[in-house]
Chain A
Amino acid sequence: MNRFEQLSVEAYSSILKTEENIAKQRSVGLYDGEERSPVFDRGILYLTPTNLIWIDEEDESLAIRLHLSTIILAEDQRAGSDQSSKISLHLNPPSENFSPVQVSEANHVKLSFREGGMTEFFRRLSDTLMRKRWETVVGVKPVGPPSRREMRTGISGIEKTLQAQQATVNIHISKAFEDLSNLMTMAKDTVNLTKNLVSRLKNKQGEITEDETTQLKSYLLSLGVDDPVTRDAYGNDNSYYRGLAIEVSSVMSKPLKEKGGLMTLTDVYVYVNRARGFELVSPEDLLRACRLMESLRLPTKLKVFDSGVVTLELSDLMDADVVKRTKEALDKSPLTPEMLSREFGISVVLAREMLLLAEARGAACRDESIEGLRFFPNKFVLSK
């Protein structure tokens, strides 16, 4: 009991007014060590961020307080058959100029909760002890400041350190999950926002420049598919590939139209995975899914050129269309694959395939020299 100090009515009412009242429990008796204290036998126990205050229920002028910094460890002790539940507090030694309410040898006290309420009080006490608010709270200071020395030795020291560590970890983890759940709720809103933007973009076409449109589109694209098809969502591989085929087909239809109807599968792979953002698709899965497209009668299908170059093209795209487009470009000037790729905004590999296709269909002929490979309109046929 030698860590408690006497409080005047004015003192405790001031504390209870200024500090937050965390917990309050009636019918609490104090034990000095293992001995029941006859004086402080039945009172109201208050918990504030910095103090434990005990006020006698009969005589309000009898009040004592324990500064929380004195407490090394609080332990709960469940009620036995003939005992009320208790909290035992292990305490630091008192500082020298401290005038205790009572002299004692014991290094611990017990709070006996005669009318229950221990569990709740203990929870709040532990919580308060963990926060160590007295280190930051400026206000009512203990009259004789108790020893602030941290106990770093002995079992209690280790326990305290562990407790503190666990507390920090807990706080970090719960913060992390809070962020994640925020993100999840935000994701839906973000997707809705982009959908709005797209529809507004459609309505406003003409008012914004081509550049801005392209830029916005690329942002939207990077925001991705809101509901990617994943393997987990499907029971077996076949239905996974079917689902993927449908998704790829719907994602790629528009860019394909813009690019003249066909793209290399390499480009498609990049496109699809950028649209997904995460839950990325492997090249093999993409290829398998694309192989299914024709049998699923999707608007896109896989096409393998004679050279082995694999592309995705619109189903209604005919070779003749590709040849016609290529020939129209050739009629303006002879072209290398690089030049055609710039003209159409497609990859060089694909441009080359288009030229080779035109050549195979007799619409183009080649000029191979040290300057490289160029294609001309097939004048041999035209002059026949």
Chain B
Amino acid sequence: MSTQDKFEMPWQYSFPPFFTLQPNLDTRKLQLDAWCALVLSYFRTHRLCVIDVNESQSSPLFSNTTLNRKLSPETISVILDELRKTGNLEWIDKNKRRAWVLWKSVDEWAKVLYRWAVDNGMLSTVCTFYELIHGQDTTEEEFHGMDQDLLLKALRCLEHQKRAEIISMDGNMGVKFF
């Protein structure tokens, strides 16, 4: 938890125009780049995967109470759309209310998971999703506390590469790495 406290907002966060979508396209490009970088580093630091558009409006990420400035829902949409274009975001529902913020791409997640299995001698062993996400052995791992659907997505990627098999047991999900 110490990493969360140490998270430092960039200088833009205390610059009021940062919270107004700039009409000048060149300026806007720079502004959105800064926002995308901030969102990704914020999510990485806080080990967050899912963003809820409605809830995020009041989160400290998009709302600076010191300046009394916050992003409008429209501007948040623009930023998320920008993240989607760079492959750092994937909508979960069709209504675009929730999305995965991919500070690692699904491919990268798959690699991280497979390396963990190799490094910890978990090949040919069945691990439940619960163990991976909430287990005591994974507290130091980046995927600890990860969204289960996103985990599934990454594992499907490994399955496709014939490096894992997803098993369903009495409603509980598990995975076997090869």
Contact = CB atoms under 8 A, between A and B. Distances in A.
Main DSSP-derived SS at the B contact region: helix
Contact of A380 (B19, B31, B68): B31
Given A366-B17, A367-B17, A374-B16, A384 B23 contact: no
Nearest to A377: B17
Interface stretch (A50-58, A150-158, A357-365): A357-365
Interface in A347-384: 359-360, 362, 365-369, 374, 376, 378-381, 383-384
Assign chain B's interface to a size class: 10 to 19
A334 B15 CA distance: 11
Please classify how large the interface on chain A is, using the bins under 10, 10 to 19, 20 to 34, 35 or more. Answer: 10 to 19
B61 to A, nearest CB: 18
Contact of A367 (B20, B23, B26, B30): B20
Nearest to B22: A365
B20 A366 contact: yes
Contacts of B34: 380
A127 to B, nearest CB: 83
Contact of A376 (B17, B30, B68): B17
Contacts of A384: 30
B27 A362 contact: yes
A376 to B, nearest CB: 5
A376 B22 contact: no
Contacts of A367: 16-17, 19-20, 69
Contacts of A365: 17, 20, 22, 24, 27, 31
Contact of B24 (A360, A368, A374, A379): A360
A369 B22 contact: no
A379 B15 contact: yes
Interface of A: 334, 359-360, 362, 365-369, 374, 376, 378-381, 383-384
The 9 closest A-B pairs by CB, nearest first: A367-B16, A380-B30, A365-B17, A368-B20, A367-B17, A376-B17, A365-B22, A367-B20, A365-B27
Given A365-B24, A369-B16, A381-B26, 17 more contacts: A359-B23, A359-B24, A362-B26, A365-B17, A365-B20, A365-B22, A365-B27, A366-B20, A366-B22, A367-B16, A367-B17, A368-B20, A369-B19, A369-B69, A378-B27, A380-B34, A381-B27
